[in-house]
Structure formats: C-alpha cells, structure tokens
Amino acid sequence: MKKHIPNFITSINVFFGSLAILAALQDRLILVLWCVGIALVADFLDGFAARLLGVSGPMGKELDSLADMVSFGLLPGVLAYKLLLAQNIGGGEFFKWAFFGFLIVVFSAIRLAKFNLDTRQTENFIGLATPANTMFFLGLTILQQYSEGFREFMPAYPWVLFIVILVFSILLVSELPMFSLKIKDFSWQNNKYRYLLIIGALILIGIAPVYFMAGVIVWYLFLSLIYSVER
C-alpha cells in the first residue's frame, strides 16, 4: 500500500496543474496561483515521500515527469500564449503569432526527457528547472494583471515578449549549471547562493511585491550564472 503513496501525491500535482491551465484560460489568476502552489507542494512531497518510505522506482520517476509536463510544461506555455494574446496587436492577425508561446511547451518536454536520462542532476540542475520557468511566466502574468507600467510597455514593444519566450526556452535545455534549493546543512560556505537568493527575495517582496515572482527568478538566474563561473 505504501508504494502507492508517492504516486498519489504526484497525481495531486497533475490534477491541480490541469485546474491551473483551465483557470488560466478563463483569466482567473488567483485560482491559478492557488492551483500552482498546491502542484508545487505536491511536486516536492512526492519525492520526499518516496525516499522516506523507501519506495523509489522507475514508475514514480516517469509519472513525476508526466505530471510536471502538465503543471510546469503546458501551463507556462498557456500563460505565454495568453500574454501574447493580451497585447492585441494587429487585431485577429496577431492571434496567429500568439501561438509562439507554446514554444515553451516544446522545450519543457525536451528538458524533462533529458532530465530523466541525465545522471548529473542529482544535487543541482543543468538548465532551468520547469517549476522555476513556470514561476517566471506566472510572474509576468501577475504584472500583466496588476502593473500599469507593464501593460503600457508591452503593446509598444511586443517583440520583447517573443525574445523572453525564446530565451527561457533555450535556458530550459541549456548546459548552464544552476543551484538547487536543497540544503544539507546551514553553513554559509555550502549555501551561499541559496542564502543570497532568499535575501534578494525578501528585499524584492518588501519593496515591489508585484515584481516578486518574475524578479526572483531573474535574480536566481543571475546568481546561477555566477555560480557556474565559480565552479
């Protein structure tokens, strides 16, 4: 019986990821945030439960990737699509260009497939993890909803969104080393970048909450770039 517990938790991930996609299509941002939050917690707990119960196996690994493909692969693609669509440039003609957002889905699928085969990513990541990518595009969606400056800037320079989507798609499958949030001890030496990420996140949420989610991922990428140089 206990061997099914991690898979049940993974199923919660994919269920709420599916609800998040539906909510995103209906522009219900608060519901998206709740569903993504639950999916993220489930994504963390399934692996934790598998290790705790000693029931890790190939079935759980494959199911986890399939769930992540929905919650952190398809969802950010939908968010990117909605962001492009919201700019409403060229009337109905721009609708065709909005499908560019689904490039995120393609690269997320490639990343998850690579992750299952890559034995190097046990402690840290190589390339941007799909949950972090999802958080970034969720952050842009928050800006679209709550930042007047963002809504004024994007229609004037819509090409910026195309570049951002392309860059983050490439980051998903890049060979750039990125630190994970796994903490084995509390020493500064072993967790310097994790502590800097937390400090930056606290400052950001204190001075500009609306920019927090997208901003903290940009900060994470900057720290990961320094981390990769120091390795």
One-letter-per-residue 3-state SS of 137-150: HHHHHHHHHHCHHH
Fold (topology level) of 2-230? Four Helix Bundle (Hemerythrin (Met), subunit A) (1.20.120)
Residues pairing with 19 in the sheet: none
pLDDT in single tens digits along all 231 residues of the chain:
676 788 888 999 999 999 999 999 999 999 999 999 999 999 888 877 777 776 676 777 788 889 999 999 999 999 999 999 888 765 555 567 888 999 999 999 999 998 877 667 666 788 999 999 999 999 999 999 999 999 999 888 888 999 999 999 999 999 899 988 877 777 887 789 999 999 999 999 999 999 999 999 999 999 999 988 877
Give the contacts of 104 (CB within 8 A, at least 6 positions apart).
73, 76, 77, 80, 133, 137, 165, 168, 169, 172
CB burial readout 142-175, b (16+ within 10 A) else e: bbbeebeebeeebeeebeebeebbeebbebbbee
> Which of these, 160, 110, 154, lies nearest to 133 by C-alpha position?
110
Residues pairing with 178 in the sheet: 125
Give the contacts of 188 (CB within 8 A, at least 6 positions apart).
195
Q: Where are the chain's structural domains?
A: 2-230
The confidence score (pLDDT) of residue 208 equals 92
The confidence score (pLDDT) of residue 93 equals 58
The confidence score (pLDDT) of residue 92 equals 57
- pLDDT tens digits, residue range 119-132? 676 667 889 999 99
- Distance CA(132)–CA(140), nearest Å, equals 13
- Distance CA(39)–CA(18), nearest Å, equals 10
State the pTM of this model.
0.92
- Distance CA(6)–CA(223), nearest Å, equals 32
For 28, 105, 217, 228, the CA distances from 83, given in Å and listed in that order, are 14, 15, 18, 31
- pLDDT tens digits, residue range 61-94? 788 889 999 999 999 999 999 999 888 765 555 5
Backbone angles phi, psi at 108, to 5 degrees: -65, -40
CB atoms under 10 Å from CB of 106, counted, come to: 14
CB atoms under 10 Å from CB of 67, counted, come to: 27
The confidence score (pLDDT) of residue 230 equals 77
The confidence score (pLDDT) of residue 183 equals 72
CB atoms under 10 Å from CB of 1, counted, come to: 4
Terminal Cα distance for the chain, rounded: 43
Question: Position 139: which residue type?
Answer: G
The confidence score (pLDDT) of residue 109 equals 96
Residues pairing with 126 in the sheet: 177
Lookup result for tokens 């490039």: 103
The confidence score (pLDDT) of residue 187 equals 80
